[in-house]
Amino acid sequence: MPLREPRHLLVTGGAGFIGSNFVHYWCDRYPGDRVVVLDLLSYAGNRRNLEALEGNPNFRFVQGDICDRTLADALLQAENIDTIAHFAAESHVDRSILGPEAFVRTNVLGTSTLLEAFRQHWQQRGQKNNTFRFFHISSDEVFGSLNPESPPFTETTPYSPNSPYAASKAGSDHIVRAYHHTYGLPTLITNCSNNYGPYQFPEKLIPLMCINILTAQPLPIYGDGENVRDWLYVGDHCNAIDLVIHKGTPGETYNIGGNNEIKNIELARMVCQLMDELAPNLPVRPSSQLITFVKDRPGHDRRYAIDASKISTQFGWKPQKTIQEGLRQTVEWYLNNRDWWEPLLSDEYQAYYRQVYA
């Protein structure tokens, strides 16, 4: 690898699922870079995700709100930040249906606050440092739902968000693009498919399946289970983000997908088979007996699929993990890290779970 100047990164949402995986990836790959994590530590943020980095002189954790402009200004200046990797977001569709206001505040207002703080920081430094980047992670959900015969989403697919979550992410994407178009701010956007891997909060499909199998709880599948999602291993996602930050053209958008379209019911059965194989003392065997179809999510999008040919063609990126490899590693992680997920099954989580799956 050619020599590069050390970067000073502010990683928002760095104690969450994708964010913490990215922080570990970056600190391992670029140990000379300064990495500052800003995270509110909401229900899905977990300081334990980063405990292996405690004591690293190039790592700093700050608990705070991305809507706090004073804090954002102070961190950008004190840490001489040249790159923001913006992961902080409310991201669970079911929670957005129950309480959309939090999604608008964090995803739209929070992104706007960071953009304005970074714009002024960038301008104060004379706009001369060509390594300055505002990287914004987004979702394939902003594009809406695909029919079975429709081609996958591309970077030029019109936005058509259906859930409050998707609408809030679409709004944040538009604001990021506006800052590039209006001010010339060097922004980058990626839209990714469904991520899976370690450190994912139990409300998400794969950890939910693993944990409910271990605790002999029903495995709730919305509707008929035929909804299709594209699955991307989080480590492959982090590698793609690395390439976009270093090689991406400011103002551009890049789709990142796993090329793994799978029906929800098929994925649930894959998890059940792995759990049966890897955990011989399960309370219910075969664990597929626990699969339970529940009332469908309001406005449930039928299919998502990502065309990642742009990032593949330009940067040579492609996923390294097959769904079989990545899913096995993920299931093993949840089996081996019960002390990580058990404390997350709080009274608040149980109340939310009953409200969603009642």
pLDDT at residue number 36:
99
Nearest alpha carbon to residue 301 among 190, 194, 154, 219 = 194
pLDDT at residue number 1:
47
Q: Answer left, alpha or beta for residue 230, where phi above 0 means left and psi between -120 and 50 means alpha.
A: beta
Which structural domain, as residue segments, surrounds residue 112? 8-197+232-259+300-320
In a domain, 294, yes or no: no
In a domain, 49, yes or no: yes
In a domain, 350, yes or no: no
In a domain, 268, yes or no: no
Beta strand 228-233 pairing with 59-63? unpaired
Please give the tally of structural domains in the chain.
1
pLDDT at residue number 2:
52
pLDDT at residue number 129:
66
Low-confidence ranges of the chain (pLDDT < 50): 1
pLDDT digits (tens, 9 = 90+) for 190-227: 999 999 999 999 999 999 999 999 999 999 999 999 99
In a domain, 134, yes or no: yes
In a domain, 214, yes or no: no
pTM score, two decimals? Answer: 0.96
Q: Answer left, alpha or beta for residue 16, where phi above 0 means left and psi between -120 and 50 means alpha.
A: beta
DSSP 288-329: GGGEEEEPPPTT---B--B--HHHHHHH-----S-HHHHHHH
CATH of the domain at 249: 3.40.50.720
In a domain, 13, yes or no: yes
Active site residues: 140-141, 165
